[in-house]
Amino acid sequence: MLGQGDLQAALENYRRAVALGRESLSANSDQPEVRHRLADSYTGLGSTFAAIHKTDDGLQNSLDAVQIRESLMQLDPADARYKAALASDYIAASGVARAAGQRKTASEFVDRARAMLESLLRLDPANALRRSSTTAYQQNGAPGS
């Protein structure tokens, strides 16, 4: 587990990554990969805020990541990479929402993640990782819920 100093360094690094990502997005708004990387940074920033008990900030950054990923899905709804990243962001947002005491919101994100994982499993039924993740969510819901 990271110590408090490590979390502060992570927070600053993610803040810089978000700032750089937003700059890059303003210059390259037509490039989905730039948005994809910015969403990664927002997810990390949200989780880091939650880890230092700034859950409102964490939830807002997690929601920003989800919004970006959902907009990418609209560009190419069949893209498995976008689906997997969105499912991962739903799971991360669920954890942050749970830490913020928003159990209903956390549960909604778990449901969205489950649906996305099931969609991915239909595309690639032989994928054991997706199958095990989907089964775990069907049986248990989100970890720690």
Kindly report the pTM of this predicted structure. Answer: 0.82
Which string of DSSP letters, residue by residue, matches 21-80? HHHHHHH-TT-HHHHHHHHHHHHHHHHHHHHTT-HHHHHHHHHHHHHHHHHHHHH-TT-H
CATH fold of 4-140 reads 1.25.40
Check if the beta carbon of residue 82 is closer than 8 Å to that of residue 113: no
Instruction: Tell me the pLDDT tens digit for each residue of 28-70.
Output: 888 999 999 999 999 999 999 999 999 999 999 999 999 999 9
Per-residue pLDDT tens digits for 121-143: 888 777 656 556 555 555 555 55
